[in-house]
Structure 1
Amino acid sequence: MGRMLAASGLGERLAAAPPPTPDFVIDVLAAAADWVWETDPSLRIVRLSPTFGEGTGITPGDVVGRTLEELLRRFLIDDGEHQDQLHAVRALAPFRNLRLRLWDEARRRMRHFLLSGRPGFAPGGAFIGYRGVGLDVTEQAERDSRDGENRFRAIFDHAALGIAVVPPGGTLTHANPAMCAMFQYPPDELAERTFLDLVHPEDRQADAEAARGLVRGTVESFTRENRYRRKDGSLFWGRLTASLALGGRDGPFGVVTIEDIDDRRRAEENLSLFRRVMDASHEGVVILSPSGHILYANSAFARLFAVTQDGVAGTHYRGYFPRSSEALLDRALTPALLRGESWEGVIEAVDASGRIFPVWQRAGVLRDDSGKVRFFFAFMHDHSAQQTFEDELFDAKEAAEEANVAKTRFLAAASHDLRQPMQALAMFVEVLSGSDLDPARATLVGRVQDSVTALEGLLNGLLDVSKLEAGLVVPQADDFAIGPMMRRLAREFESLCVAEGIRLSAVPTGLAVHTDAALVERILRNLLNNAVRYTPAGGRVLFGCRRRGDVLRLEVWDSGIGIPQAELRNIFREFHQVGNSGRDRRQGLGLGLAIVERLARLLGHRIDVRSVEGRGSVFAVEVPVCHRRIAPGVRQLPLDLMRRGVSILVIEDEPDVRDGLEALLASWGHVVLAAGGADEAIRRLPGFGRLPDLIIADYRLQNGETGGQAIARIAIHLRAEGKVPAIIVTGDTAPERLQQAQALGHRLLHKPVRPDALRAAIEAALSGGSRPRKTPARKAKAS
């Protein structure tokens, strides 16, 4: 064995080594291999070592002179397996370990050899012939044969199929254990029975006729599915395969295999049941091959497309869809299935009459264990009625959206038209309140101011809702101490509570929070306003907070009328009010809590409410606690200490608003030039006698001009070296108008503007963007 392996390795090294040139190499190789050989350029064997005859029983003279290919074709085992080696010989390429089989007559024994060779070439590149070695592997081949027989016996004994040898007499003389177990007979009893004894009587005639054809040679083998009877009399289905083998010592004999197919037959019965169920379904079902051809379609599919069920098989699935559906098939359905995903949707189909109609379908794919597509499938039904309903629903949705847009536009326009006279009224009342009045007139002016304030609150509620709908409110979270804000709000509502006979208690905190200060302040102000509004005289409002882990609960308690449990879900809806069935507008529009809910949702803060009818309510908003130390804020100057004598250019096309704003600014000590538009302002600026320090412009002016455009034109006219500080005032609540105004980069105020808000905006604009102004020598009175 070791010599054989060594020689086999020698053949491999020879095939890979450079061609030998000395003749004595043959003698050297002969010492390592069983025999060596050599050819001339025509591939005829010219030299063969004497050991060839000793190992094969054939004299070297019978081989010398023959071609190498002739030798190989005569003694090569399994031509088909070594065709590539024969091609290598013809191509003058190396080959190795070709198996040769030669009959040794002297020893009455078949001998086996491995042949290896390598072409040789002269220095000039001319082919000079093959040189190679042969190795005797007879002993190994015989051992392999014995191993093969053993393996066959192991396969025969352990095969799952029943295997038996049937001699001419027809008995099962040699049956493997699987065959015995299949029929429940021990081997000796089974050997006494003929094969036809085991076949069901109704199947014997057909089996006997097939066996006679096998013996006559009309067929080489046959396969049948029969019912067989076990020893206990029970029946099972088996798949029989029989063939005739020649060359036996006693003549031809049969080889039969039987596969128990009971499970398969039951599966076929289940498949038949599946088909009956599918045909009873009202949903169309279709199964497709990987190429898209229909393998199965139930009767509902045939009815859906007005075709016969038998005529569907083999047709292509795309034939049931019009050209208008090709894009959806190519871009959505087919790619989804190829990715292994399901697809569900509505697609146009066409039936045999040419009618195009919508179908809903859910399509999927089934793959084998290797990931290869086995088939596609789809469930479908006529979607016409549902499509009609969905179209009607879509139309209704569009109509509702159009109505909502119309409502928003109407609200914006109505709000703008109301703000103009409101703005003028607020300015005139502010000017009037600053003059010397007797007590009776001062009281009357105060009541007018209260009415203006109430109306301003209604309009501001509409404005806040419009801003939230427009998405213009962007939270700017920061760390700040919440205590000062709570104290400021308590002071702000204290006078109102005293006037209403309500006791207000505030318990501020020293904690800091992380949120948007302005938005949280608006939430708290609305909650406090709501508490005061619904608490009767003699009641109490408590404003405080509680820490719970990493959040701070800001709470507003009241001893008011409370909220019925059925109303708790509705209090955050727009225009919903509790206890105001008469719609008293002095109690507002019912937007306060709606704004609270939207702002809290925008900030990501949790808000909740608890209430007992007749006893009061508690509203709370949770904000995250900040753990770092916050430096104290800078105290702002009171408004009455802010600058005076500023030159201000007012651009407003509404005469009443323009006159009121001019009078208010003049009463604060400012020098004012008021104009109806940019053209008038440019025309009158030379007579103004000074350059404006600030421009206040209405957003919507006459002839389609906007305040931003007017400011830009005036800045160009003045040849301003930098940006002129400006404030844009608008009464427009339409979302797109608000977005345009904010995009200009100027400060923005909404009508009606409170005087204190206007003074603060003026101071902020001048502090952030004022620059020195030259005053012309010629003075002119402000008009």
Structure 2
Amino acid sequence: VSISWQLILLSLAYVGVLFVIAWHGDRNTSSFGGSRSARWVYPLSIGVYATSWTYYGAVGSAANHGWEFLPIYLGPILVFVFGWPVLAKFNAVVKTHRIGSLADFMSARYGRSQPLAVLTTVVALLGTIPYIALQLKAVGQTFNIMAGSPTGIEPEIFDTAFFTAVFLTIFAILFGTRLPGQRRDSNRGMMIAIAFESVVKLIAFVLVGLFCTFELYDGFDNLFNLARQDPQVASVFSTDFSQWALVTQLLLASLAIICLPRQFHVTFVESPDEERYRNNARWFFPLYLLGFVIFVVPIAAAGLLKFGGLAPPDAFVLLLPMAFDNEPLAALAFLGGLSAATGMILVSTLALAIMVANEILLPLMFRSSPEELRQRQDLSWIMVMVRRLCIVGIMSLAWLYYQSATNERSLASIGLVAFVAAAQFAPALLGGLYWRQANRYGAMAGMLIGLLSWALMLVWPEMQAEHIETVQQFVPLPADPLTNGVLLSLGLNILTYIAISLATTSRLVDRVQAATFVDLMPTNSKAGRYLKENLRIDDLTTLASRFIGSERVQSIIETYALEHQIRQLNEKDPAPAELIAAVESILAQEIGYTSARLVIRSASRGRRIHLGELVSLVDEASMLARQNQELLRKAIEHLPQGISVIDQNQKLVAWNHRYEELFGYPDELLTVGRSVADLFRHNASQGVISGFNSDEQIEHALQKRLDHLNRGSAYRRESILSSGITLEIIGEPMPNGGYVTSYSDISSYKEAEAALRESEQAIRVYTDNVPAMIAYVDRDYRIQFINKAFERTMRVWREQVIGRPNKEIFTEAEYEARIPYLKRAFEGRRQRFDVSIDRAGEHREFEALYVPHRTENGDVQGIFVLYQDVTDRNQAKRGLETANETLEARVDERTEELQAANEALEAENIRRAATEKALTEAMQATEQANLSKTRFLAAASHDLLQPLNAARLFTTSLAERATTDEVRELTDHLEGALSSAENLISTLLEISKLDAGALRAEPKTFALTELFGQLSQEFQLIAEQRDIRFKAKSRDVIVHTDPKLLRRVLQNFLSNALRYTEPHGQVLFAIRTFGPDIRIEVWDTGIGMHPDDLPSIFDEFKRLSEGIQTEKKGLGLGLSISKRICDLLGLRLTVHSHPGTGSRFAITLPRSAGQPEPLNKRQSPRGQLLTQPL
């Protein structure tokens, strides 16, 4: 089995292991947060940060730029060690608000803004899809390297990246999409698989580092001493590290933990519920990254010492074990890189799919779908299918980007650019967590400005090289392009975010959401610090029941007992700290976080207090809550719309007089705590809401309404009451459950809209049937109306034109020609002029009329434009005039031109005939001369060989009779000279036979393995003598050709390969299959040739550059003979070579289905074996 198929089987087996792990994790009934393995699964899953960038690219960055790789690891370590309170608050916000993605966080914080969520999703796609494609590229390249290509440029037999994308798509669909009801534990199996991959890549990297450090160089000291002695290695690690670059990369790496969609997903969305498991990540994840940091430099130094500049540094992790024939370690290193790439692809694809489905596709479906889709009670399956289609689409986009991209930058540089795109989320994320005044307008504006700056400074290549000086004239930025891009994009992002937030007024929902995010404190054991042993379970129950009800408190206690495996709690026992924290979190949702903390602290001070005092405090807080409710009622009372507020239990909380007036509710019906169901039934029974003929229909409609409220999604609809009033109803869900609904009377607006629509329709009927172009232009030169003739002539659609400036519809020349007439028309003067329009290769002429549109006071507010097509009229007029004036002159002119053309044609025919005759005679003479030359060479070579053979006999006789060393040395030199002359004459004789057609091929059907084995044995000995590594890779194939001549060609290729390869180099002799054909290849890592010299190497006496082994120089005829033999046998000969990287000679021939014949032990053409390179 070839190495390629071994790799395929190994990869499939590894993917199968991942499937089994994920399947087992999903079948485990224990919750992700409560299982013992969660303490390790969660921090290990955060290890998805270590992609192929940090696995391969960090070593490449160290080999190219020294210590510049360090900030990529140092940033996350500093965040987890010193910034843990920020991460804890993120976790608390995500858990409290049940946030499912990065875009969901943005939307929830900034007033449930869907445009902001869509923008976040689009930016995440722009920054992540190229990075996913990068992982696919890394998988494909490492597969090729492992497949055995000495130079790493071997073409792929099949698309490794494609099959990787297919398997990962299936994996993400199976283990990354579940029904909404399974949300909290839906991805448990995938997270366990990601954690397993983190273990694999760390073990693989550490083992490679240990191998390089202790197996190859006997420890760190020896390795670093050798590195310091090597000028190339020492110069790399002694390079000064730019402070700007350090700060920039450190900032990017720190922000990546919260800004990258995949890191946000694993760190916060998929985090376990119990804080003690989350806290393990604070020390475990930095230690995990340190495991990589320790061995990056040793691997890079070992790679530079071994390969110098001849191997790609990004592949040192694979190439070092391969170079020393440690195949198990190389396979493990390959699996580590595969884990690094696939883990990132899986989590990133899942995070993006959630964002695209929830923020773009599903809202579009509910807005544009048929009514029956809206009425379906169970949409879970549709939601799952949409998410799965998103996974397929995202993976397809990444694979297409990988196929089309030609960028060959290193892994580290592409990763940093992707980090900058994700970093644009940082101001909105961190500001939303700590700054109460931040709003949606500032977040969107800042993100857009930052994204535009990122595109100009980093994505647009010309900006870095050609326009950086122009930028620095206005902004004093450092010279490093990455630093420039980071400083400019993040700086403008932050400034715009702050300025727009301060300059705009936040909506009520923005302020409400800001308070819930900014005031929220991480859930931890602080409550337990206030407790000591003063607050018992029954006291806590009595306290909390006054706010949230006894049933809800009992549910919290039962959940706590179940999670901690406690059969029964004694009400007289002190309340555990974790139970108090859970109750405090629920209280915060009802009375606010400040009040909840005040209640718990007052109840749990280190002194004995009476329960009556605690009840008084609770009553005071309840009164304060009622006062806040009254303030809310007064605030909404003065709004022109009807307003109603319901809680999470579908109970009425607040309303205003306009709401009561619109629906005509009796006074006794509207009370705090009234069920929405009672209000709906009243409206239906009183005929306020029409369309119901029975109680069953009312109950069915009510159930649909309640189901919609339970889903907690925003909605907007219009409803016509029985009184004829048309209402616009807008519902917005509140963060902790419940709805705020507004009811606006839009009856007059609807009537005006209908009248306007009817009037506009009538005008369009008239104008669309007019053949002339009609348009209307306002004072800003914007087009506000066009008819059908305008659309046909200008090749535009009405929707594309309305509201756009005049200069965007016409070309620059057309617009400049109309400017004087437009100005005079807006001065109040009617304009008539001729104009031409060219569209789609058609030229039309018009008579234009501009008529000013005046208001009652005489001001010009617009222009009526009329274009009458006069093309046919003008053409007929010009044609008639031209025909009358020039008809006779044109006839005479055409006659003279025709006569001259005939004469010139006759002369040209005579010249061509003479030229063809001379060319034919010259070709015949050339062919006769070539034939004579070939015959002469054949005859001369044959006649010259006879005296040379006689001379060799005399030389042999003389050597036998020699009595002194001087005479023997002289006879040896004479023997060598005669052998060289005989070899040259024999070669010339063979060329002459080939040119004269005297040499005939004798094809036969045989197994190529026999000939391949003979050649491999012969040249293996020669390679060992020259200290060259010789590899042979055979295939069982049958061919039909002349084995003697084929052997002659392959001998020449192998001889040249060994001749031009340095000691310790490599020569690969391989057979590859390509469908019905096979290709015999000879690879070497020798000196190589320039591509411009390849066409001439098959000329006679054309010598290659002198090689390493020069004891016998070539004659420059071997490749010429090989080319002639391949032409004789009908074989395709190809050559690929580059200076310094080696060469590849290949012969392509078809397979044969016949019965193979046996070969002799040694097959050479006509019994002659070529042993010297020609």
TM superposition score normalised by structure 1: 0.31
- Between structures 1 and 2, the one with greater strand share: 1
TM-score (norm 2): 0.21
Higher-Rg structure is 1
Q: Which has the higher helix share?
A: 2
